[in-house]
Amino acid sequence: MALRVLVVDDEMLARARLRTLLAECASPAAAVAGEAAHAGQALEWLAANRCDVVLLDIHMPGLDGVELARRLRAQDDPPAIVFVTAHAEHALQAFELDAVDYLTKPVRRDRLQAALQRVATRVRPPAAAAPPTGGDADAGVLLVNDLGRRIRVPVSDVLYLKAELKYVTLRTATHTHVLDDSLTDLEQRLGPRFLRVHRNALVARGAMQALERRLVPGDGADDVAEGWAVRVGPVGEWLTVSRRQVAAVKDAIAEGGL
């Protein structure tokens, strides 16, 4: 079954290009279920219709795409979000909002297809989703790029994975690597050994050492606020914990990561 797509962009030509590219995508297939020229029109459409993913521009008259994504994320069972924009400076905000992907204009078909594959992994049962492409977590390793080489990192060595800009940082006790995979894909592939402590971080249960109230990054680029954070050993780094995950982190620490 084709993914149902809502295209939100104030430029008619941009919407037309996305329609053309979506028609050329085959794995998974996608169909334009609706279009909107601004956020208000998108909210009106979504109140009466269902879609799997919103292809969302950021700079639009009135409510911008980031604020629209924030409102959608607060809803029950929201559609997946893929930002499509000519501006790269909002990438961090996009991934803090748990966007599936962030595409820059002019959009290439292969990048759009990869984004749709990530959407399919999120919205469909695992058996129907596209197979993972970035590693071999089922075999106990992840494949990463390291100075032009492909190396195998044992999953047992991974302390945490954190979404930053367009990439995911993988941290072991001795090295930091960069992955192209989305955090959502990695969460599904790695299974219960890792806990989603925040929308931008997965932490190995056995690596959690302490949970404390600390100053953590706020919503703005330079903001800090008091919140919960978990200490990751043996590196001793602190990662922000969302309020709804505090109890799960406490349980993981009490159980010794088992």
Closest CA to 167 of 240, 101, 80: 101
**Do 197 and 102 share a structural domain?**
no
Q: Where a domain ends, among 128, 155, 178? A: 128
Domain end call among 128, 160, 182 = 128
Are residues 107 and 46 part of one domain?
Answer: yes
- Percent of the chain at pLDDT > 90 equals 50
Please check whether residues 167 and 247 belong to one and the same domain: yes
Contacts of 188 (CB under 8 A, 6+ apart): 121, 126, 129
Number of domains in the chain: 2
What is the per-residue pLDDT across 61-118, written as a single tens digit (0 to 9) for each?
Answer: 999 999 999 999 888 778 999 999 887 666 666 667 778 888 988 999 999 999 999 8
Q: 78 and 105: one domain? A: yes
Q: Which one is predicted more confidently, 32 or 224?
A: 32
Same domain, 148 and 119: no
One domain for residues 10 and 66 = yes
Note whether 158 and 120 are same-domain residues. no
Backbone CA torsion sign across 148, 149, 152, 156: negative
With a cut of 70, say whether residue 219 has pLDDT above it.
no
CATH number (domain holding residue 234): 2.40.50.1020
Instruction: For residues 194 and 119, state if they share a domain.
Output: no
Domain limits for position 171: 137-254
Is residue 42 domain-shared with residue 98, that is, in the same domain? yes
Q: Choose the final residue of a domain: 73, 104, 128.
A: 128
Q: Can you give the pTM of this predicted structure?
A: 0.51
